[in-house]
Amino acid sequence: MILSANIGRVAHPFAHLAKGWDIARRGAAFLCMSLALSAAYAQSASCGLTSIQESTPLNYPPIAKAAHVSGTVVLLATFDLTGKVTSVKPVSGPLMLQGAAIDYVNHWEANSSTGPRECPVAVTFRVVGVAAECGSKDDHSNIPVDSFQRIDVQHVVITRGVGCIYTQADAQGVVIP
Protein backbone atom coordinates (compact mmCIF):
# COMPACT_ATOMS: atom_id res chain seq x y z
CA MET A 1 0.00 0.00 0.00
CA ILE A 2 1.34 3.40 -0.95
CA LEU A 3 0.79 6.25 1.38
CA SER A 4 0.71 9.53 -0.34
CA ALA A 5 1.14 12.69 1.48
CA ASN A 6 -0.01 15.98 0.19
CA ILE A 7 3.35 17.62 -0.09
CA GLY A 8 2.97 21.16 -1.37
CA ARG A 9 5.19 24.12 -1.43
CA VAL A 10 6.04 25.45 1.93
CA ALA A 11 5.80 29.21 1.95
CA HIS A 12 8.69 31.13 3.27
CA PRO A 13 7.66 33.11 6.35
CA PHE A 14 8.46 36.40 4.50
CA ALA A 15 7.02 35.42 1.10
CA HIS A 16 4.27 38.03 1.34
CA LEU A 17 6.92 40.76 1.62
CA ALA A 18 8.68 39.59 -1.54
CA LYS A 19 5.53 40.18 -3.55
CA GLY A 20 5.23 43.69 -2.10
CA TRP A 21 8.84 44.51 -2.96
CA ASP A 22 8.29 43.29 -6.52
CA ILE A 23 5.32 45.63 -6.90
CA ALA A 24 7.34 48.52 -5.44
CA ARG A 25 10.29 47.79 -7.74
CA ARG A 26 8.05 47.71 -10.82
CA GLY A 27 6.31 50.91 -9.72
CA ALA A 28 9.64 52.68 -9.26
CA ALA A 29 10.82 51.53 -12.69
CA PHE A 30 7.59 52.77 -14.27
CA LEU A 31 7.92 56.14 -12.50
CA CYS A 32 11.54 56.58 -13.65
CA MET A 33 10.62 55.67 -17.21
CA SER A 34 7.68 58.11 -17.28
CA LEU A 35 9.84 60.93 -15.86
CA ALA A 36 12.51 60.30 -18.48
CA LEU A 37 9.92 60.32 -21.26
CA SER A 38 8.29 63.54 -20.02
CA ALA A 39 11.69 65.26 -19.76
CA ALA A 40 12.53 64.15 -23.29
CA TYR A 41 9.15 65.43 -24.51
CA ALA A 42 9.60 68.81 -22.83
CA GLN A 43 13.03 69.27 -24.42
CA SER A 44 12.13 67.98 -27.87
CA ALA A 45 11.48 70.31 -30.78
CA SER A 46 8.43 68.28 -31.80
CA CYS A 47 6.27 71.36 -31.69
CA GLY A 48 8.46 73.08 -34.26
CA LEU A 49 9.88 75.92 -32.16
CA THR A 50 13.17 77.09 -33.63
CA SER A 51 13.27 80.71 -32.46
CA ILE A 52 11.61 82.93 -29.87
CA GLN A 53 11.42 86.72 -29.64
CA GLU A 54 10.69 88.13 -26.21
CA SER A 55 8.98 91.48 -25.77
CA THR A 56 8.97 91.56 -21.98
CA PRO A 57 11.61 90.54 -19.42
CA LEU A 58 11.14 87.65 -17.04
CA ASN A 59 10.82 89.05 -13.54
CA TYR A 60 11.16 87.17 -10.28
CA PRO A 61 7.97 87.94 -8.29
CA PRO A 62 8.91 90.08 -5.25
CA ILE A 63 6.80 88.01 -2.85
CA ALA A 64 8.46 84.80 -4.07
CA LYS A 65 11.90 86.40 -3.60
CA ALA A 66 11.03 87.43 -0.06
CA ALA A 67 9.73 83.94 0.74
CA HIS A 68 12.74 82.30 -1.00
CA VAL A 69 10.42 80.30 -3.27
CA SER A 70 12.15 78.59 -6.17
CA GLY A 71 11.19 75.86 -8.61
CA THR A 72 10.31 75.04 -12.19
CA VAL A 73 7.01 76.10 -13.72
CA VAL A 74 5.95 73.89 -16.63
CA LEU A 75 3.52 75.53 -19.04
CA LEU A 76 1.66 74.46 -22.17
CA ALA A 77 1.77 77.31 -24.70
CA THR A 78 -0.40 77.34 -27.82
CA PHE A 79 0.91 79.21 -30.86
CA ASP A 80 -1.03 80.24 -33.98
CA LEU A 81 0.22 80.13 -37.59
CA THR A 82 2.12 83.41 -37.27
CA GLY A 83 3.88 82.35 -34.05
CA LYS A 84 1.85 84.48 -31.63
CA VAL A 85 0.86 82.94 -28.32
CA THR A 86 -2.88 82.31 -28.12
CA SER A 87 -3.03 80.63 -24.70
CA VAL A 88 -0.78 79.53 -21.86
CA LYS A 89 -1.87 76.94 -19.29
CA PRO A 90 0.13 76.00 -16.18
CA VAL A 91 0.88 72.28 -15.86
CA SER A 92 2.94 72.26 -12.67
CA GLY A 93 5.14 74.40 -10.45
CA PRO A 94 4.90 76.68 -7.42
CA LEU A 95 1.76 78.85 -7.48
CA MET A 96 3.72 81.97 -6.45
CA LEU A 97 5.79 81.68 -9.63
CA GLN A 98 3.13 80.64 -12.15
CA GLY A 99 1.76 84.15 -12.76
CA ALA A 100 5.18 85.59 -13.68
CA ALA A 101 5.95 82.63 -15.95
CA ILE A 102 2.58 82.88 -17.73
CA ASP A 103 2.97 86.65 -18.21
CA TYR A 104 6.47 86.14 -19.64
CA VAL A 105 5.46 83.41 -22.12
CA ASN A 106 2.31 85.32 -23.17
CA HIS A 107 4.60 87.97 -24.69
CA TRP A 108 6.60 85.54 -26.82
CA GLU A 109 6.55 85.44 -30.57
CA ALA A 110 7.81 82.25 -32.19
CA ASN A 111 8.76 81.27 -35.72
CA SER A 112 5.80 80.86 -38.09
CA SER A 113 4.40 77.40 -38.76
CA THR A 114 2.11 75.52 -41.11
CA GLY A 115 -0.44 75.01 -38.36
CA PRO A 116 -1.24 75.81 -34.77
CA ARG A 117 0.89 74.01 -32.21
CA GLU A 118 1.02 73.35 -28.51
CA CYS A 119 4.45 73.34 -26.88
CA PRO A 120 5.66 72.57 -23.36
CA VAL A 121 7.75 75.36 -21.83
CA ALA A 122 9.82 75.19 -18.62
CA VAL A 123 10.61 78.35 -16.66
CA THR A 124 12.97 77.77 -13.73
CA PHE A 125 13.24 80.24 -10.87
CA ARG A 126 16.24 79.87 -8.52
CA VAL A 127 17.18 81.63 -5.31
CA VAL A 128 20.85 81.18 -4.48
CA GLY A 129 23.19 82.26 -1.73
CA VAL A 130 22.88 83.13 1.90
CA ALA A 131 21.55 86.38 3.27
CA ALA A 132 24.27 88.60 4.66
CA GLU A 133 24.35 91.83 6.61
CA CYS A 134 25.05 94.57 4.11
CA GLY A 135 24.80 97.83 5.99
CA SER A 136 22.15 100.49 5.70
CA LYS A 137 19.11 100.49 3.44
CA ASP A 138 20.57 103.53 1.68
CA ASP A 139 23.56 101.49 0.51
CA HIS A 140 22.50 100.00 -2.85
CA SER A 141 25.89 98.55 -3.77
CA ASN A 142 25.05 95.02 -2.57
CA ILE A 143 21.60 94.60 -4.09
CA PRO A 144 21.51 91.29 -6.00
CA VAL A 145 20.42 91.35 -9.62
CA ASP A 146 18.50 88.72 -11.53
CA SER A 147 20.52 86.54 -13.86
CA PHE A 148 18.72 85.25 -16.97
CA GLN A 149 19.82 82.23 -19.01
CA ARG A 150 18.11 80.53 -21.95
CA ILE A 151 18.93 76.80 -21.82
CA ASP A 152 17.14 76.07 -25.09
CA VAL A 153 14.15 77.45 -27.01
CA GLN A 154 11.68 76.00 -24.51
CA HIS A 155 13.59 76.37 -21.22
CA VAL A 156 14.71 79.52 -19.43
CA VAL A 157 16.26 80.00 -15.99
CA ILE A 158 16.17 83.12 -13.82
CA THR A 159 18.49 83.16 -10.81
CA ARG A 160 18.24 85.63 -7.95
CA GLY A 161 20.68 86.15 -5.09
CA VAL A 162 19.16 86.14 -1.61
CA GLY A 163 20.23 89.67 -0.77
CA CYS A 164 20.93 91.69 2.30
CA ILE A 165 19.73 91.80 5.86
CA TYR A 166 19.64 95.35 7.14
CA THR A 167 20.05 96.13 10.79
CA GLN A 168 19.47 99.31 12.69
CA ALA A 169 21.77 100.54 15.42
CA ASP A 170 21.26 103.17 18.04
CA ALA A 171 23.64 106.09 18.61
CA GLN A 172 26.08 103.88 20.58
CA GLY A 173 26.21 101.26 17.82
CA VAL A 174 24.06 98.68 19.61
CA VAL A 175 21.95 96.67 17.18
CA ILE A 176 18.22 97.19 17.54
CA PRO A 177 16.29 93.95 16.94
- Per-residue pLDDT of 91-139, as tens digits, reads 999 999 999 999 999 999 988 887 888 999 999 998 876 655 555 555 5
pTM assigned to the model: 0.60
- Place 47 in a pLDDT band, splitting at 50, 70 and 90: confident
pLDDT tier for residue 45 given thresholds of 50, 70 and 90: very low
Domain ranges of the chain: 16-45, 52-166
CATH class of 52-166: alpha beta
Residue 112 backbone phi and psi in degrees, to 5: -70, 165
Integer Cα distance of 74 and 57 in angstroms: 18
Q: ∠ CA 15-20-26 to the nearest 5 degrees?
A: 130
